[in-house]
Amino acid sequence: MFLISENLGVHRKGAVNLSFPDLRIDRNDNVLLLGPSGSGKTTLLSVLAGLLPPTTGTVRVGGDDFYALSAAARDHVRGRQFGFVFQTLHLLPSLTLSQNIMLAADMAGRAPEAGRLDHLLDTLGLVDKAHRKPDALSQGEQQRAAIARAVLLRPQIIIADEPTSALDDDNARVVMDLLQDQAGEAGAALLVATHDNRITERFDTVLTLENQMKEDAA
């Protein structure tokens, strides 16, 4: 197993304690975290990604206790083995599309394999957009750029937070096709958190989280 979490619990100030079911993910797995706002989906993603220490339980990445590592070591693992597609795409307006995609490699201190960027630009239909800045791109083109950035370094796991919830049926289908195709091409596991029931049938494993908070959004 690449990613294992057991007995996870998180105490959030001003909110109830959150507890989560055990999770095991290997490369090439497709796993869906499904739950309404308040179920703690984003909190769980933050814990699994090494960004929010749990109050109880453990997270293991490749057999190692993730939170036994220093913050710098967790950053190193995250940069090399995780890819992220955020609900807010976080494309920097001053950078071109290609530069935004390469940002993942720059921040990880790694060079992608030869031809990898060109391959992704071609596969995702972005070759003629490579030197444009985000404000000159459509929402769909920006989404594809974010997916390209997430898979550039062939991570072992891609984590996507609500990638389809704001999209109509056709665009939701396109985004999920891209995510799953690119995860498969990179040999990565795909972990998606959402309250969007339209995409449940795409996943082999669906983990449903119950509403644990009245006020905090997931």
Give the pLDDT confidence of 71-83 residue by residue, as tens digits. Answer: 999 998 998 899 9
217 in any annotated domain:
no
| Confidence check: pLDDT of 216 > 50 | no
Structure-block tokens of residue 42? 């984003």
Domain-embedded: residue 119: yes
**Within-domain flag for 74:** yes
Spatial neighbors of 150 by CB under 8 A, at least 6 apart, are 83, 84, 85, 104, 158, 160, 182
Q: Is residue 214 part of a domain?
A: no
User: Which domain, by its residues, includes 9?
Assistant: 3-208
The reply to whether 41 falls in a domain is: yes
Residue 215 inside a domain? The answer is no
Positive or negative, the CA dihedral 147, 179, 24, 195 is: positive
218 lies in a domain?
A: no
**Total structural domains in the chain?**
1
pLDDT band at residue 2 under the 50/70/90 scheme: confident
Which residues make Cβ contacts (< 8 Å) with residue 171, sequence separation at least 6? 140, 164
What residue type is 87 in one-letter code?
Q
Is the pTM above the cut of 0.95?
no
Please report, for the domain that includes residue 181, its CATH number. 3.40.50.300
User: What confidence score (pLDDT) does residue 211 get?
Assistant: 73
Q: Which residues contact 28 (CB under 8 A, 6 or more apart)?
A: 183, 184, 187, 188, 189
pLDDT in tens, 131-156: 999 999 988 889 889 999 999 999 99
Choice between 30 and 175, residue whose per-residue pLDDT is larger? 30
Number of residues in the chain: 218
**Inside any domain, residue 187:** yes
Instruction: Count CB atoms within 10 A of the CB of residue 200.
Output: 12
